[in-house]
Amino acid sequence: MADQVRILCVDDEENILNSLRRLFMDEEFETVISGSGAKALEILGSGRDFAVIISDQRMPGMTGTEFLAQAREAAPEATRILLTGYADIEATVDAINRGGASRYITKPWNDTELLQTVKDAISSYLLRRENRRLAALVQQQNEELKEWNGNLKHRVLEQTADIRKKNGELQELIDHHQKNFEDTIEAFSNLVELHNPGVRSHSRNVARIAVRAAEILELPDPELKTVRVAALLHDIGKIGGPSTPALRDTVTQGTRDLTEYMQHPVRGQAAVDGVEGLRAAGVLIRHHHEHYDGSGFPDRLLRAEIPPGAQLIGMADFLEIGLRGFQGDNAVELALAELKKQLGSLFDPELFPAVARAALEVCDAFRAKSGLEEREVSSTGLAEGMVLSRDICSGTGLLLLSKGIELDADNIQALRRNYRLDPPKGGVFVLVRK
C-alpha cells in the first residue's frame, strides 16, 4: 500500500531488534529490521519510504553515526534516531552535528518514551509528506493555469485577428455594394437627363444644393443620403412621358401635357418602389412638387405635411431652373430673389436661409475654379485633381460626368472605360492653373 507507514530499526544485536519489534508489534506502522548499516542502506535503496530510522551506535563495520549520515542521503525525509549508551556522548554529539541524527535515545530505554518519540517522529514525517504533496499539487496547478492562460490568450488573439479580418472583408463588401448602389443611382440620373437633353446636369445640381441645405439644417446622415438619391432621381418619372424640359415651362403647355406632366412624381415613386433601399427616396420624389400653401401636386399636402427633404428638392429644383435664365456673376442672387417671391406660397420660408446659403456655397465653389484656364486633354492625359470645365458625354450622348466635378482615381478609371466602350468625339475639357 502506498500510504503504509514504515520504520527501519538497525542493530547488530538480535535481542535488541526483537525487543524493538515486540514494542512496535501492535502499532499501525510496519517495522522493518536490519542487522547492519550496509544491509539497511540496501533496504533504503530499494525505493520504499521510511518515516523513522532507528540505529544503534555501536555496530561492527559501520557505526550508527556513519550509517545515519548515509541514510540522510537515501531518505532525507525520515526522522533519524540514534540509540546510544551513556558512554557514547561524543559519538552522539558527532552524529547530531553531522546532521545524520535528529534525536537520540539512551540505552536502556524507557518503552513508553521510545514509543512516544517514534509516534511523534511519524506524525512530523506525515505532516512533511502532506506538505510536500500539497506543494507539488499547487505547483502543478500553477503550471496548468499558466499553460491554460497562455492558450487562452493565444486563442483570444487568434479569434480577434479573425474577427478583424472578417470585419474588414465585410466593410469592403459593404463599400463595394454602396459604390455599386451610388453608381446605379448616377446611371438612372443620367437616363433622366438623356430624356431631357435641355437640362443636362440639372439633377446633379439640384442634388448638390438640396444636400448642402440639408447639411446646414443638420438633418441626420441617413436623411442626407435619402435627399441626395431622391434629388438625383426626382424627375425619373418623366421617362416614358412626353419630353418636358423644365417645370416652369410646363405651365404654358396645354392641359393634356400638363396633366401628363403632373403624373411624373407619382410615376417616379412607383418606378423606384420595387427597390427597398429606394423607398424613402420614393416618398421625397412623390412630394417634390407639393406647395407650402397646399396648391401643389400630387397630394396637395400643406405646410408641415410636406417632408422637409421634398421641399428642399423642390426649392433647389426651382432655383436650378431659374439659374439657367440668368447670366453673369450675380445670377445666383437674381435666382434667389425669384425664389424668395415664392416663399409662403410655393415654399416654406423657414427653409429659405439654408437653401440660399447652400446655393451661394455651391456656386462659389464653381466660381473659385474660374481662376483656371480651360484645356482639352485626351482620356489618357487625365490626372487626379483636374476639374471638368464642360460636361462629358459618351458618343451616343449619355452624360458621363458634369462640369465642375474634380477628377479622382475612380471617375478617371470609369471615364477611360467609357471612352473605350462608347467613344466621344473630342477629348476632355478641364480647368488647369494659368
Residues lying near Fe ion in the complex (CB under 5 A) are found at: 235, 317
- Nearest distance from residue 160's CB to Fe ion, in Å? 50
Cβ distance to Fe ion smaller for residue 56 or 235: 235
Cβ distance to Fe ion smaller for residue 37 or 268: 268
Cβ distance to Fe ion smaller for residue 193 or 317: 317
Check: CB of residue 88 under 8 Å from CB of residue 58.
Answer: yes
Cβ distance to Fe ion smaller for residue 153 or 300: 300
Nearest to 315 by CA among 345, 288, 285: 288
- Nearest distance from residue 239's CB to Fe ion, in Å? 12
φ/ψ of residue 74, rounded to 5: -75, -35
* Owner of C-alpha cell 435627399: 227
- Nearest distance from residue 233's CB to Fe ion, in Å? 10
Coil, strand or helix: which one is 373? strand
Cα separation, 151 vs 348, whole angstroms: 65
* Owner of C-alpha cell 506502522: 29
Cβ distance to Fe ion smaller for residue 88 or 317: 317
- Nearest distance from residue 237's CB to Fe ion, in Å? 8
Q: Which residues pair with 87 in a beta bridge?
A: none
Cβ distance to Fe ion smaller for residue 239 or 331: 239
CB atoms within 10 A of CB 52: 26
Helical H segments across 196-307, by residue range? 202-216, 221-232, 247-250, 255-262, 264-273, 279-286
Nearest to 339 by CA among 363, 328, 327, 323: 323
- Nearest distance from residue 234's CB to Fe ion, in Å? 5
- Nearest distance from residue 258's CB to Fe ion, in Å? 13
- Nearest distance from residue 413's CB to Fe ion, in Å? 30
Q: Which amino acid is at 427?
A: G
Report the residue closest to Fe ion, judged by CB: 317
Burial of 260 (0-12, 13-18, 19+ CB in 10 A): middle
**6-10 and 52-56 strand pairing:** parallel
Cβ distance to Fe ion smaller for residue 85 or 241: 241
- Nearest distance from residue 251's CB to Fe ion, in Å? 13
- Nearest distance from residue 207's CB to Fe ion, in Å? 11
Q: Which amino acid is at 307?
A: P
Cβ distance to Fe ion smaller for residue 318 or 419: 318
Q: How far is CA 114 from CA 110, 117, 422, in A?
A: 6, 5, 115
Cβ distance to Fe ion smaller for residue 266 or 398: 266
Check: CB of residue 85 under 8 Å from CB of residue 113.
Answer: no
- Nearest distance from residue 265's CB to Fe ion, in Å? 6
Cα separation, 77 vs 240, whole angstroms: 103
Coil, strand or helix: which one is 242? coil
φ/ψ of residue 234, rounded to 5: -60, -30
Check: CB of residue 413 under 8 Å from CB of residue 359.
Answer: no
User: How many whole angstroms from its chain centre is CA 316?
Assistant: 40
Cβ distance to Fe ion smaller for residue 69 or 210: 210
